[in-house]
């Protein structure tokens, strides 16, 4: 992958148009919400699906993951930030993703590509050979906070997923727990921020890697 390609509008346009495939009986009328994470009972790796929400091959892959109760996160390649992320992952894997049709799939730090779009067998093979981030399983359910003050965002952990919520705002979409880094029991790291649980009784405390500390 050359530096001139990374994040280019031409590549973004390629990804957003190069997905047209005939509908098959398996994909017709089986649209699955692309932003949904399915994480009921799966203990494993973070999977990101890069594609278009109305691409039948992408929808079929998400359906097959859902049937197997494997969590995934959909990323729409119409978003330039997603394209930049995809290029960065491709560069890390020494792969030029611009020659491949969506969906492309990230399994932890590995990028899966296929000229005809990634299929379920390729994903399952990668899951067997990719080491999961087992530390995420040690993160306890509950609410994690950065500040005692009301109105701050709350990080809610439930099973193998988490989401951010804030007073007066709709909750964000559920995400895979493997995106969190466990610092110590009761402290996790996400989005360049430490989150502590339970909430501190001191309104002037801040969450750090060592737990709650008074300001």
Q: How far apart are CA 201 and CA 192, in angstroms?
A: 24
| Cα distance from N-terminal residue to C-terminal residue, the chain | 47
- Quick one: 145 and 117 in the same domain? no
- Quick one: 107 and 153 in the same domain? no
β-pair partners for 196: 145, 187
- Domain containing 179: what range? 140-212
pLDDT of residue 64: 94
- Quick one: 80 and 121 in the same domain? yes
Q: Out of 94, 127, 160, pick the residue that ends a domain.
A: 127
- Quick one: 60 and 123 in the same domain? yes
- Token couple for 18: 């190069």
- Quick one: 117 and 190 in the same domain? no
Residue 103: inside a domain: yes
pLDDT of residue 155: 92
- Token couple for 16: 């957003």
Q: Crossing angle of helices 56-67/120-129, nearest 10°? A: 50
User: Is the pTM for the entire model greater than 0.75?
Assistant: no
β-pair partners for 157: 142, 162
Contacts 24+ apart (CB under 8 A), 1-6: 1/87, 1/90, 1/91, 1/94, 1/95, 1/96, 1/97, 1/98, 5/87, 5/96, 5/98, 6/84, 6/87, 6/88, 6/91
Residue 26: inside a domain: no
Domain total for the chain?
2
Q: Out of 105, 127, 149, pick the residue that ends a domain.
A: 127
Which among 190, 203, 187, 195 has a CA at the least distance from the CA of 150? 203
Q: Out of 73, 98, 127, pick the residue that ends a domain.
A: 127
Regions of the chain where pLDDT drops below 70: 1-45, 130-137, 148-151
pLDDT of residue 55: 92
- Quick one: 152 and 116 in the same domain? no
Residue 15: inside a domain: no
């Amino acid at each position: 992958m050359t530096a001139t390609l990374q994040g280019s509008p031409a590549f973004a346009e390629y990804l957003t148009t190069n997905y047209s495939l005939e509908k098959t009986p398996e994909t017709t009328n089986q649209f699955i919400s692309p932003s949904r994470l399915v994480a009921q009972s799966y203990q494993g790796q973070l999977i990101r699906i890069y594609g278009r929400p109305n691409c039948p091959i992408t929808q079929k892959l998400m359906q097959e993951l859902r049937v197997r109760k494997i969590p995934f996160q959909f990323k729409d390649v119409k978003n330039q930030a997603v394209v930049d992320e995809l290029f960065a992952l491709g560069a890390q894997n020494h792969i030029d993703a611009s020659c491949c049709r969506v969906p492309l799939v990230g399994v932890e730090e590995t990028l899966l590509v296929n000229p005809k779009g990634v299929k379920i067998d390729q994903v399952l093979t990668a899951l067997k050979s990719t080491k999961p981030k087992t530390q995420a399983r040690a993160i306890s359910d509950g609410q994690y906070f950065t500040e005692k003050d009301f109105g701050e965002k709350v990080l809610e952990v439930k099973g193998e997923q988490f989401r951010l919520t804030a007073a007066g705002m709709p909750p964000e979409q559920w995400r895979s727990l493997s995106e969190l880094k466990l610092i110590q029991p009761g402290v996790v790291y996400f989005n360049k921020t430490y989150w502590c649980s339970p909430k501190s009784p001191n309104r002037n405390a801040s969450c750090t890697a060592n737990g709650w500390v008074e300001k």
